[in-house]
Amino acid sequence: MTEKHSAKYIARSSAIASRLLGGEMMIMSAVDSTFFTLNPVATAIWQAADGETSLSDIVTHHICTEFEVDTETALRDAEHFVEEFSRHGILLVSNQPIEDHPIEDSAVSPTEAA
């Protein structure tokens, strides 16, 4: 088991714009204007990135239960996704819970009120 290695906590950055459209999460980085469309697995990780739940728990309780994938493969893929998105400033990563993560659920839909 890689529990110690996987003790990562992730939170969504406030330096993004995101919108869920037709079941696909679309994200744009304010840091480098990179645009991403997430697949369903990446969307599940993104939505669970609350800063308080470890990546291994997200994989175990969300990814492996919702998708037909084994824990080892899911964790490896999730770590790759998190690494890539942290390089773009879209996800914050820590080895302990992120208490003051800068985005709240209501900020995911910035154009909700019209």
Domain boundaries, given as residue ranges, for the chain: 9-94
pLDDT of the residue at 28: 93
CATH number among 3.40.190.10, 3.90.930.60, 3.30.300.10, 3.40.47.10, domain 9-94: 3.90.930.60
Helix (H, G, I), strand (E, B) or coil at 102: coil
pTM of the model: 0.80
Residue 60: alpha-carbon gap to chain centroid: 14
Residues of the chain with pLDDT under 50: 1-4, 6, 103-114
Cα distances (Å, whole numbers) of residue 104 to 30, 52, 66, 68: 17, 13, 24, 29
98 CB burial (10 A radius; 0-12, 13-18, 19+): middle
Residues 6+ apart with CB under 8 A from 40: 23, 67
